[in-house]
Structure 1
Amino acid sequence: MNLLWHYKEFDELTSAELYEILSLRVTVFMVEQDCLYNEVDGKDPKCSHLWCTMDGKILAYCRIVPPGVSYEVPSFGRVVSHPEARHLKLGHQLMRNAIEIIQNHFQTSQIKISAQTYLKNFYAQYGFEQTSEEYLEDGLPHMEMLRN
């Protein structure tokens, strides 16, 4: 298995990379999860982007959100795995890489996220604790979580 990890600022993305990233996000969040929302929300140009490919196909992705964009502390979001690659459990490596990038780039271990409620235990494995009541975001149950 020839997995390659990529990390780029928005302005470094090629048009093909951006197309593939948005395509995967729309496929999972809007089609698979049947959630209509503004996928192109204006945050991507302010963020950096982390993803994994195999044979040129994006299998896992998230965006790294700097402080002041979503929260007062760094965050990550749009965490997604390709439906055909979920058996590879790349979400775990994605989390380790995203946390390491945030710690190194922003010199903090504090990360705040808006997590789909069903993923609470997944994020808890990486030190995230629930800090809000459950709420609906784009029609899906979410909660804020914080890692110190």
Structure 2
Amino acid sequence: MTALPAYIVDVRRLDQFSAIELYDMLKMRVDVFVVEQECAYPELDGNDPECLHLRLMNGPELLACARLWRPQADANPRIGRVAVSPDHRGKRLGEALMREAITECEKAYPNEPIELSAQAHLQRFYASFDFKPISDEYIEDGIPHVDMLRDAR
């Protein structure tokens, strides 16, 4: 396994990105979720303006990204759109991204549980961060998923 590359954590609201930064992040998400996973779904779902966007960067290069948000006032905070650049897979960036996403989610939403909708084959990965299944498996956009929850800390 290749060593984890050096990275900096960048967390911002959507309107704080330059056009190029926003393009790079959205392109990665489309490349991973729509093209690579062959999943036709509305990537631009109208929720991004309400989210915090976390990026792992190496200089100007985007390594990985995720979004953090609360979909409704009475809902738990969520981590979603977790993506690692295909050029940087196998370098433990997924683990780094999740650690940083949990940290930032806990800063933004202290003492609250965190939810995510996991692709079913990634349950063990998310369980390593103390997420537990809270739903049966279901199909979302043609891919088996399961809802998972990490208790408040």
| 1:91 equivalent in alignment to 2:94 | yes
Letter in 2 for 1:39: E
Provide the residue aligned with 1:61 in structure 2: 65
Distance change >3 Å, CA 135–CA 147, structure 1 → 2? same
Please name the residue that 2:7 is paired with.
Answer: 3
Q: Is the 8 A contact 2:77 2:112 kept in 1?
A: no
Which consecutive segments of 4 or more residues in structure 1 shift more than 4 A?
Answer: none
Q: How many residues align?
A: 147
Contact 1:115 1:142 in 2 (8 A): yes
Which residue identity is paired with 1:142? H
2:23 aligns with 19
Task: State the percentage of identical aligned residues.
Answer: 40
Q: 2:48 aligns with which of 44, 51, 61?
A: 44
CA distance 1:73–1:35, change in 2 (3 Å)? same
Give the match for residue 135 of structure 1. Answer: 138
TM-score normalised by length of structure 1: 0.94
Helix, strand or coil for the counterpart of 1:6?
strand
Instruction: Select which of 105, 110, 126 maps to 1:107.
Output: 110
RMSD over aligned Cα atoms: 1.4
| Structure 1 stretches lacking a partner, 5+ long | none
Asked if structure 1 preserves the Cα contact closer than 8 Å seen for 2:7 and 2:58, the reply is: yes
Deviation at 1:108, TM superposition (A): 2.1
**What's the offset of the Cα at 1:84?**
1.1
